[in-house]
Amino acid sequence: MGTQANYAGGKLIAVDWGTSRLRAWLVDGGGAAIAEADSDQGIGALSGGHEAVFEALVADWPKVPAIMAGMVGSRQGWREAAYVPCPATPAALAASFFRFSTGGGRPMAIVPGLVFHAAWRDGDVIRGEETQMIGMIDREPAFAGTVIMPGTHSKWVRIDRGTIVDFQTFITGELFALLSEKSFLRHSVAGGGGDLVASPDFGLAIERTTGEALPFLASLFSVRTRQLLGNVSREHNLAYLSGLVIGGEIAAARDLGALGPGTAIRIIGSRSLARAYANALEVAGFDAEALDGSELVLDGLTHLARTIGFLEKAA
Amino acid sequence: MGTQANYAGGKLIAVDWGTSRLRAWLVDGGGAAIAEADSDQGIGALSGGHEAVFEALVADWPKVPAIMAGMVGSRQGWREAAYVPCPATPAALAASFFRFSTGGGRPMAIVPGLVFHAAWRDGDVIRGEETQMIGMIDREPAFAGTVIMPGTHSKWVRIDRGTIVDFQTFITGELFALLSEKSFLRHSVAGGGGDLVASPDFGLAIERTTGEALPFLASLFSVRTRQLLGNVSREHNLAYLSGLVIGGEIAAARDLGALGPGTAIRIIGSRSLARAYANALEVAGFDAEALDGSELVLDGLTHLARTIGFLEKAA
């Protein structure tokens, strides 16, 4: 109990509540995290009972307002928050928060998601990553370019000096898992792990899909024939398959106008994924800079908390 | 036993032995099938014992030579037959047959597969479909154009007056099964069945992927958002997803030069798949004619049997 005194300066609880994890930070008046808590009770594991789960996690902390982002605001979450249309500013997001009070009287706010309606396809949505975008804009207000958030469902977001212009989702990580683990190609690739980027076959696949215009759908069967005819090892073949899906994603994003000569690029993601994408982009002729995603979530949440009065404006 | 007398005219056994099925025809001197037998003992279900399985199936037929095509000639089959490089003619295939005799002294011949080495990717292979190609060439010796064999692994084969020029494999059917049954999109599409082509969303997806240049990889997430934002039914969404993978395949084949203005197109496949592809190609601006695949296998086998002396030349 000796540490409880440290919580006294807490003014806000910032929450990142996604499908598989719940993370909370106790934040002081200056926006610094003074305590952290997390659990595996993600939205995907719950069917109701959100308030009890949340209050149990932060029971030792002061009864201050909480701001939340992620799947907690989806139809399957605690309360459904809106989708704000792009182009969108941090102010537009702040104006569409879902506000409520818990049974215990704690003021709550859920960050809305983003929706983008393109002429050439149906709408695309973001829920969760918008908060990292806000954190990124808070740090680099003059940034104009493309932000890539690789993962199970990669997001490519175009930003222009504080405005989230548009975005595109690619299901790259999921597709790679399906192809390498569930398709007939699983017999031709290693079981996973290892440093895929270190294999020259990763770069070869990137070069073919981005430089030589090999269509992604025309590239997949060759993962099998490389083993059948060329005796390529399963480890190198896994790297090749990884390069095909990431290279296919980069080529498609380029076709959509998210990449061009001189486009400024930031990558937000885990160290290994960020490295793979930076390497792939380099092969494709683009420079990219990697940022730490977990820090940006907290930055975004505290920035947004200030705009809705949950935290005092920064001095 | 009254029917055994009918087998007396049998001069050749023609065999299509694939991964999941074994089919055999007893053929008379004129190339006509006078009896047929099949079993579910495909190559994928066996580890050795091929001769016993085959002899049991044809035990009632005369002890005549047998010609076989399909996975029976793969590394996992009875005996491994070669891959003949493209461009290839029926005569080149006939020169590379794998010939042997069974323990019981029956002359056997296995049709070789095809391999194509493109500059821009690793080699591609065909094993089984080459025999339908030979049957098709036998019927239309002057044909010059593209033959599409849709399925789990679709083959696009370019033919020029009797020569198999090159080909490309797309794993379209497998990708559709993975996406509709194993990915997160399974929650947004119907469980299968139904007349997918009848939905206007099938044509919409074809139009977007082939006409409006929506990259395949950029199209998949919208299957989810169509349901989330647009309340599209799961049945129509399954048709849309089917249109995306088939349209993506057509767009990639076009990029590779397998389709162009005025290209003659034949589709060899099941009635429903052939109809879907013919419909998709029409939306994309191409005319195609559907052929019956099972007849072509037998035509190809009898044509090749004549070239190696297993059957007398046609009058």
Would you say residue A1 has pLDDT above 60?
Answer: no
Q: Would you call B120 an interface residue with chain A, using a CB distance cutoff of 8 Å?
A: yes
Q: Which of B122, B225, B255 sits opposite A225 (nearest CB)?
A: B122
Q: Which residue of A170, A189, A217, A244 is the best one to mutate when testing the B interface, meaning the one whose CB has the most B CBs within 10 A?
A: A217
B33/chain A closest Cα distance in angstroms = 35
When pLDDT is averaged across residues A183-194 and rounded to a whole number, the result is 90
CB within 8 A of A51, min separation 6: which ones? Answer: A78, A102, A103, A104
Q: Would you call B8 an interface residue with chain A, using a CB distance cutoff of 8 Å?
A: no
CB within 8 A of A301, min separation 6: which ones? Answer: A14, A15, A16, A25, A27, A67, A69, A111, A131, A135
B315 pLDDT tier (thresholds 50, 70, 90): low
pLDDT in tens, A289-310: 999 887 899 999 999 999 999 9
In the sheet that holds B98-101, the strands lie side by side as B33-39, B22-28, B10-17, B66-69, B107-110, B98-101
Percent of chain B's residues with pLDDT above 70: 97
- Shortest CA distance to B124 belongs to which of B77, B92, B86, B97? B86
Strand partners, B39: B22
Instruction: State the DSSP code for A88.
Output: B
Confirm whether A314 is domain-assigned: no
Q: Give φ, ψ of B16 to 5 degrees.
A: -115, 105
A114/chain B closest Cα distance in angstroms = 12
Q: Would you call A115 an interface residue with chain B, using a CB distance cutoff of 8 Å?
A: yes
User: A291, A254 in Cβ contact below 8 A?
Assistant: no
Cβ neighbours of A150 in B, within 8 Å: none
Q: Which of A123, A218, A255 sits opposite B252 (nearest CB)?
A: A218
Q: Which helix (H) or strand (E) holds A57?
A: helix A50-57
Residues B120, B197, single domain; the answer is no
Residues A13, A123, single domain; the answer is yes
B3 pLDDT tier (thresholds 50, 70, 90): low
What is the complex's ipTM, to 2 decimals?
A: 0.92
Percent of chain B's residues with pLDDT above 90: 88
Q: Would you call B153 an interface residue with chain A, using a CB distance cutoff of 8 Å?
A: yes
When pLDDT is averaged across residues B284-300 and rounded to a whole number, the result is 92
Locate the DSSP E strands across A40-105: 66-69, 83-85, 98-101
Q: Would you call A207 an interface residue with chain B, using a CB distance cutoff of 8 Å?
A: no
Q: Would you call A219 an interface residue with chain B, using a CB distance cutoff of 8 Å?
A: yes
CB–CB contact A225 B123 (8 Å):
yes
Instruction: State the DSSP code for A236.
Output: H
When pLDDT is averaged across residues B24-28 and rounded to a whole number, the result is 97
Q: In angstroms, rounded to a whole number, what is the distance separating the alpha carbons of residues A223 and A184?
A: 10
Residues B10, B137, single domain; the answer is yes
Q: Would you call A249 an interface residue with chain B, using a CB distance cutoff of 8 Å?
A: yes
User: What range does the domain containing B223 cover?
Assistant: 171-284
Q: Which helix (H) or strand (E) holds B148?
A: strand B144-149
Out of A79-83, B5-9, B238-242, B254-258, pick the least confident. Answer: B5-9
Residues A16, A129, single domain; the answer is yes
Cβ neighbours of B218 in A, within 8 Å: 121, 168, 170, 252-253, 255-256
Q: Which residue of B has its CA nearest to A252?
A: B215
Cβ neighbours of B174 in A, within 8 Å: 183-184
Q: Can you say whether residue B64 is alpha, beta or left, with left for phi > 0 and alpha for psi between -120 and 50 degrees? A: beta
Q: Would you call B143 an interface residue with chain A, using a CB distance cutoff of 8 Å?
A: no
Confirm whether B312 is domain-assigned: no
Q: Which of A122, A182, A216 sits opposite B217 (nearest CB)?
A: A216
Q: Would you call B183 an interface residue with chain A, using a CB distance cutoff of 8 Å?
A: yes
Alpha helix stretches (DSSP H) within A148-292: 172-181, 200-206, 216-219, 221-230, 234-255, 271-283
Strand partners, A156: A148, A168
Cβ neighbours of B172 in A, within 8 Å: 217
Tell how far CA A220 is from the center of its chain.
26
- Shortest CA distance to B303 belongs to which of B167, B140, B147? B140
Q: Would you call B169 an interface residue with chain A, using a CB distance cutoff of 8 Å?
A: yes
HEC assignment per residue over A115-150: EECCCCCCCEEECCHHHHHHHHHHHCCCCEEEEEEC
Confirm whether B289 is domain-assigned: no
pLDDT in tens, B69-104: 999 999 999 999 999 999 999 999 999 999 999 999
Query: For chain B, what is the total number of helices (H) and then of strands (E)?
Result: 10, 14
Residue bearing the bigger pLDDT, B254 or B314: B254
B24/chain A closest Cα distance in angstroms = 27
- Provide the pLDDT for residue B4: 55
Cβ neighbours of B120 in A, within 8 Å: 208, 212, 214
Would you say residue A2 has pLDDT above 80?
Answer: no
- Provide the pLDDT for residue B129: 94
Confirm whether B129 is domain-assigned: yes
CB–CB contact A122 B222 (8 Å):
yes
Would you say residue A63 has pLDDT above 60?
Answer: yes
Q: Which domain CATH number covers B217?
A: 3.30.420.310
User: B78, B22 in Cβ contact below 8 A?
Assistant: no
pLDDT in tens, B179-227: 999 999 999 999 977 789 999 999 999 999 999 989 999 999 999 999 9
Q: Which residue of B156, B167, B221, B255 is the best one to mutate when testing the A interface, meaning the one whose CB has the most A CBs within 10 A?
A: B221
Q: Would you call B175 an interface residue with chain A, using a CB distance cutoff of 8 Å?
A: yes
Residues B81, B187, single domain; the answer is no
Cβ neighbours of B184 in A, within 8 Å: 171, 174
Residues A124, A181, single domain; the answer is no
Residues A128, A200, single domain; the answer is no
Confirm whether A214 is domain-assigned: yes
- Provide the pLDDT for residue B5: 57
Q: Which of A221, A251, A255 sits opposite B153 (nearest CB)?
A: A221
User: B261, B251 in Cβ contact below 8 A?
Assistant: no
Q: Which residue of B has its CA nearest to A218?
A: B170
Confirm whether A158 is domain-assigned: no
Q: Would you call B213 an interface residue with chain A, using a CB distance cutoff of 8 Å?
A: yes
Cβ neighbours of A207 in B, within 8 Å: none
Q: Which residue of B has its CA nearest to A251?
A: B215
Cβ neighbours of A73 in B, within 8 Å: none
Secondary-structure breakdown of chain B: helix, strand, coil percentages, each rounded to the nearest 5 = 40, 25, 35
Out of A3-7, B64-68, B136-140, B258-262, pick the least confident. Answer: A3-7
Residues A128, A13, single domain; the answer is yes
Out of A2-11, A68-77, B62-71, pick the least confident. Answer: A2-11
pLDDT in tens, A89-104: 999 999 999 999 999 9
Q: Which of A121, A175, A221 sits opposite B222 (nearest CB)?
A: A121
Share the mean pLDDT of chain B: 94
Q: Would you call A127 an interface residue with chain B, using a CB distance cutoff of 8 Å?
A: no
Q: Which helix (H) or strand (E) holds B17?
A: strand B10-17
Q: Which domain CATH number covers B16?
A: 3.30.420.300
CB within 8 A of B2, min separation 6: which ones? Answer: none
Share the mean pLDDT of chain A: 94
Residues B90, B30, single domain; the answer is yes
Residues A21, A99, single domain; the answer is yes
pLDDT in tens, B257-287: 999 999 999 999 988 999 999 999 999 999 9
CB–CB contact A212 B123 (8 Å):
no
pLDDT in tens, B140-170: 999 999 999 999 999 999 999 999 999 999 9
Residues B127, B214, single domain; the answer is no
Query: What is the crossing angle of helices A221-230 and A234-255, to 10°?
Result: 150
Residues A14, A132, single domain; the answer is yes
A:227-246 residues touching chain B, CB 8 A cutoff: 228-230
Q: How many domains does chain A have?
A: 2
Confirm whether B163 is domain-assigned: no
A146/chain B closest Cα distance in angstroms = 16
B178/chain A closest Cα distance in angstroms = 7
Neighbours of B305 (CB within 10 A): 24
Q: Would you call A252 an interface residue with chain B, using a CB distance cutoff of 8 Å?
A: yes
Q: Rounded to a whole number, what is the distance in angstroms from the first to the last CA of chain A? A: 32
Would you say residue A262 has pLDDT above 80?
Answer: yes
- What would you report as the CA-atom Rg of chain B, rounded to the nearest whole angstrom? 21
Confirm whether A289 is domain-assigned: no
Q: In angstroms, rounded to a whole number, what is the distance separating the alpha carbons of residues A266 and A277?
A: 10
B245/chain A closest Cα distance in angstroms = 9
B16 pLDDT tier (thresholds 50, 70, 90): very high
